[in-house]
Structure 1
Amino acid sequence: MAAYRISEDNFLALEVDDLHVDILTGVYSEETHLPQPLKISVRALIRQEAHYEPDTPLILSKNYMDLKHAATDALPKDRHFKLIEAVADHIIDTILMQDDKVLHVQVKIVKLALSEKGESIGITMARARH
């Protein structure tokens, strides 16, 4: 596949923020037996058309619900992910496989169970299509 250069001036970013998902994840014994609540946000940069006319078909963009699906229903509920990094990798792989128009995916995951005073503790992972 060709390497893509993403312009900082011209891009289309699809975003789905603050999805609450319960996933089997964690390293410590108190985390490993029950699903952990995560807050997941996904941002995907796609190849942009020159202009989007009022009657432009969806095939020239990407359905937002594909991002939501990758971060919710496409995550295996019966699999334990030791690290939330592995959860992010799974989401990124799913989105990149869905559509070759996707050039770059960023996933932010916050472990809600770690918050004591409303702080956000987690990771952000990104990968470009190569």
Structure 2
Amino acid sequence: MNSAFDDFLTLEVNHLDVNVLTGIYSEETHLPQPLRISIRARLKMADHYAPDTPLSRSKNYMDLKHAATAALPEGQHFTLIEAVADHIIDTIFMQDDKVLHVEVKIIKLALSEKGEEIGITLGRPRR
């Protein structure tokens, strides 16, 4: 049983600005929209991380970045940003079975008028 005091390892990639075809309104559906994407992935961790611990005991941060950039299908329109987050989560789970939980936060930059962050956070455990 996990407690609030168990060790954990979370990899993070924050504030990736990515242009994605998304939206439900006609003015949104033909041009990519700027999204700010942040990802947190909780992993099974090693008992201890010594100076010579190999990367295979963790995960490459660049895999998270890849899931939110190059792994998004080019030309694919996502009606909802929730679907973008879902795709990113699925990609990260497929990359590595050490990933236990993924959280994706997406901010729609085009909606911001005074620096506010408007968007969603979607989290899912491995099933």
Percent identity between matched residues is 72
> What amino acid is the match of 1:35?
P
The corresponding residue for 1:117 is 114
Instruction: Could you tell me which runs of 5 or more consecutive residues in structure 2 were left unpaired when the two chains were aligned.
Output: none
TM superposition outliers: structure 1 runs of 4+ over 6 Å = none
Aligned residues: 126
SS of residue paired to 2:113: coil
TM-score by length of 2: 0.96
Q: Are 1:74 and 2:88 counterparts?
A: no
Offset at residue 17 of structure 1 (A): 0.0
| Counterparts of 1:109 and 1:80, CA distance in 2 | 16
SS, match of residue 21 in structure 1 = strand
Across the aligned residues of Structure 1 and Structure 2, the Cα RMSD in angstroms comes to 1.0
Alignment of 1:14-93 (within 5 A): 14-93=11-90
Q: 1:76 to 1:6 in 2, by over 3 A?
A: farther
Change (3 A) 1:95 1:47: same
Q: Normalized against structure 1, the TM-score is what?
A: 0.94
